[in-house]
Amino acid sequence: MTSHALGFVRELSVCLRLDSECTILSVEPESPAARAGLPPHGGRWAVTEVNNRQINLLKGGEEEMNRLASCGKEVSVLVQPAPLVKRLRAALRANRSLLGS
């Protein structure tokens, strides 16, 4: 599986709608994110980095959504296949004791 790094200039907003686990629910047509190649229908991709800062897979995505909303003019988003991120998150939660959490 591959990941895709998408960089685009933020206009009024990034125009991504994310769920609480940073899975992309929808991409506004003709938005910078759509022009960068994200498909309009969500569920297949999850945001795993915003501006080169990794998203904590064990927490909800509220902090990351706030980070996305407060970005300057340049936004860099790394997306991974949503099923992969979901499996990674489940494995991390199942082995939380190994992480010292």
Q: What is the 3-state secondary structure (H, E, C) of 16-41?
A: EEECCCCEEEEECCCCHHHHCCCCCE
| High-pLDDT (> 70) share of the chain, % | 68
Q: Which residue has the higher pLDDT, 80 or 5?
A: 80
Position with higher pLDDT, 99 vs 34: 34
Predicted pLDDT at 87: 93
Tell me the CATH number of domain 4-93, given options 2.130.10.10, 2.60.260.20, 3.40.50.980, 2.30.42.10. Answer: 2.30.42.10
Which of these, 81, 76, 67, 82, lies nearest to 21 by C-alpha position?
82
- Separation in Å, CA 13 to CA 3, 53, 64: 23, 19, 14
CB distance 28 to 11 below 8 Å:
no
Whether residue 4 has pLDDT greater than 70: no
Q: Which long-range contacts (CB under 8 A, 24 or more apart) does 91-99 make?
A: 92/57, 92/58, 93/58, 96/58, 99/58
pLDDT digits (tens, 9 = 90+) for 40-86: 887 899 988 887 888 888 776 666 666 666 666 677 788 999 999 99
Q: Residue 17: pLDDT above 80? A: yes
Q: What is the pLDDT of residue 80?
A: 93
Q: What are 22-33's pLDDT values in tens digits?
A: 888 888 888 888
